């Protein structure tokens, strides 16, 4: 009986000791939070001190906010590098799920500089390969695609993925039908909406005499910023003739004039402009049309065409 009582006393003492220990630990944790919350070190100092940086990161993760004196734009680079290093170690340890967790953690931080996100994508590309990197691109592209610098930073990976997809298609279908080609290029522009793929689709729909779809893909192609190269001129030329066939004469003339603005001596476009203008009875106005478009732009051209043609 005495042994039972002694055992109970020992358990009570251990229990009280545990409570006191946890209380002190909790107090220490709260004190650490208080110190970090009111951190007054210079930004450069705590970013360079890994121990202190880890405390700031733990504070952020725990409280879902940064300490009072911590600027997000200064902190996020160090936070990115911290998680990036952990991501690399997780991949090397064959723990992709942990690597993904670190990536998602940083993405949820919503960095003001999306180029930091592309650092993770490049890491996945280098250490895990093209397909894995592209999976992460698909996750973040809807969020950051409007950022030109971010898009430029990851477009090579998208292009390589599209090229790989096209190579597999060509091996599988050495003599593809027009329908198979259309399906392939529709998939390619989902991977990488390059203007070449859009123009190819426009050409395929032109061959099928589907002018509405051809027009739509050609328009998407010229919406992508590009230098006035051969593709640019050629796409405007094609649009000019498609809009003529669709009896949208103002737009036909605009696209043909856009080619001549870039290359005034383009013979086939000059001939087609004459052909279009003859068909709507305004061929004598061609010099004036060129002058207005060159000096005042598209809207002024449309307004003038409204005055001189009645069949639009």
Chain segment 156-213, per-residue pLDDT in tens:
999 999 999 999 999 999 999 999 999 999 999 999 999 999 999 999 999 999 999 9
Q: How many residues does the chain have?
A: 312
What 3-state DSSP class applies to 209?
A: coil
Q: Are the C-beta atoms of residues 154 and 118 closer than 8 Å to each other?
A: yes
Q: Are the C-beta atoms of residues 157 and 145 closer than 8 Å to each other?
A: no
What 3-state DSSP class applies to 295?
A: helix
**Residue range 48-76: mean pLDDT, rounded:** 80
**Structure confidence at residue 7 (pLDDT):** 55
pTM exceeds 0.85 for this model: no
Tell me the C-alpha distance between 87 and 82, whole Å.
9
* Degrees to nearest 5, angle at CA 104 with 99 and 105: 95
Does residue 37 have a pLDDT over 70? no
Q: Are the C-beta atoms of residues 36 and 51 closer than 8 Å to each other?
A: no
Q: Are the C-beta atoms of residues 114 and 148 closer than 8 Å to each other?
A: no
């Amino acid at each position: 009986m005495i042994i039972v009582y002694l055992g109970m006393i020992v358990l009570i003492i251990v229990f009280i000791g545990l409570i006191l220990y946890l209380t002190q630990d909790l107090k220490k944790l709260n004190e650490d939070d208080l110190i970090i919350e009111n951190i007054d070190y210079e930004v450069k100092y705590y970013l360079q001190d890994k121990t202190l940086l880890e405390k700031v990161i733990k504070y952020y993760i725990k409280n879902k906010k940064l300490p009072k004196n911590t600027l997000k734009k200064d902190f996020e680079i160090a936070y990115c590098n911290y998680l990036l290093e952990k991501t690399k170690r997780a991949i090397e340890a064959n723990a992709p799920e942990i690597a993904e967790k670190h990536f998602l953690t940083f993405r949820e931080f919503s960095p003001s500089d999306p180029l930091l996100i592309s650092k993770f994508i490049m890491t996945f590309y280098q250490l895990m390969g093209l397909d894995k990197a592209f999976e992460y691109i698909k996750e973040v592209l809807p969020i950051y695609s409007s950022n030109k610098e971010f898009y430029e930073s990851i477009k090579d990976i998208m292009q390589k993925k599209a090229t790989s997809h096209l190579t597999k298609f060509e091996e599988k279908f050495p003599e593809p039908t027009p329908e198979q080609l259309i399906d392939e290029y529709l998939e390619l522009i989902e991977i990488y909406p390059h203007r070449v793929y859009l123009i190819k689709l426009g050409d395929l729909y032109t061959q099928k005499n589907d002018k509405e779809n051809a027009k739509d893909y050609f328009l998407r192609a010229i919406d992508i910023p590009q230098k006035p190269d051969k593709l640019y001129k050629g796409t405007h030329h094609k649009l000019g003739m498609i809009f003529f066939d669709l009896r949208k004469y103002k737009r036909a003339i605009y696209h043909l004039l856009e080619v001549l603005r870039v290359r005034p001596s383009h013979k086939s476009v000059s001939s087609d402009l004459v052909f279009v203008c003859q068909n709507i009875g305004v061929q004598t106005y061609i010099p004036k049309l060129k002058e207005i478009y060159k000096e005042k732009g598209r809207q002024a051209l449309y307004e003038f065409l409204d005055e001189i043609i009645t069949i639009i």
